[in-house]
Structure 1
Amino acid sequence: MSDFPANADVVIVGLGGIVGASTVHHLIERGWTRIVGIDKSAIPTDIGSTSHASDFCYATSHDPMTCYTTMYSINFFAARDRYDRVGGLEVARVGDDERMEELKRKVTSGRAFGTRAHMIDAAEAKRRFPLLEEDVIQGALWDPDAGLVKPRSQVFSGELVDEAVATGHLSAWPNTACTGLIIEDGRIRGVETPRGRIEADYVVVCAGLWGRLIANMA
């Protein structure tokens, strides 16, 4: 194994998850060359959210950024043959008119933000998912682009990191936690780890649930 790096242009904290792996992929795609990635667990992660995620992508939301980022991710996975576009349903039971109106609002928002979601009746919902009891639902939201990352987003994360390492632009360090942030004159200057410090002009925190713990180090 090479010596632990003392400096980098950017350090990614949480390289082992899908967000960290995607971040390094896109940084290299945009010309970054001196990147160090660390993770407190394995790479790909064996304890983080990516390791036990449902791998289900569902784009329809009232939030334009959620719709955009999810559709971008779906197309990114699909372009690499890592996505099954099986479609997704949200149903409203008979008598739950409030739920039905909410689904209609979601469709309106989703279509305004670029998704292909639309409402379908109970018969169509049962045709798409035969286990449904048609007589107890009044309608459903159908998102044809919803689906699953295959075989797992955890596996895909590992592929992205391996590709990044192969370019020579990423130095990846599993089982290396961020134990502190180096801040000078109000600016980030690097990170502390049990292996030593890494000086860097930029630090990207991709630690998911643990992100706030790292933020509290500032």
Structure 2
Amino acid sequence: MPRAKEAVETQPKTGRSSRRFKITPLGDAALYVELGQRVDTALNSRAIKLAQLLQARRDVREAIAGYASVVVHYDPEQITAKGLTAAVQKLSGTRADSVPPGRLHRIPVVYDGPDLAETAQALEMPVEELIRLHSETTYRCFMVGFVPGWAFLGPLPERLRLPRRKVPRKQVPPGSVAIATAQTGIYPLPSPGGWHLIGRTDVRVFLPNSDPPCLLRTGDRIRFFPA
């Protein structure tokens, strides 16, 4: 069975776009399609749309959208890597404006995190301003990963952006609401973490006995509000 041996940098053949992307093989039956490298809602919409179109194909087993990429697991009995690459080239030019808005979640937060005062000081603003900026933004779930149920949410307002902590914590309590770089998120399980903890919520984002087990899904919208 022919395989893709190396990454292919290409662009859509629709004539509508000159946006380049890169396709890299992942083993014998998967491809990684990279549309860009930014935390950007437009790129994320393109990734979601491409994943939806690929998932509808009979020769694709699963298509998973990330920030600005799609991982495509395909059936090598039905299509080759070269054939799927050609399909991706064709589909990647499809407009993403037909992607419907994701579900809207309103999540209460008690803003009393152990890093709240220190984070506000580093951002050179009052705690009340930090809370206002964090809670008045509608965030997108760009992808789910790291630990079960962890959703990467953003973009964070420019004024709230800080690098991760220099020394990560060995364990962060579940329900902790945190910020780092251009993103915010909720720790679903006890785990190590290097983000700034600004609050906590009782909303469970990982439900192991549910199907699906993750409350938040790629493309969903999230609004926090002070509890």
| Fold shared per TM-score above 0.5 | no
Band the TM-score falls in, shorter-chain normalisation: under 0.3
TM-score by length of 2: 0.20
- Which one has a larger percent helix, Structure 1 or Structure 2? 1
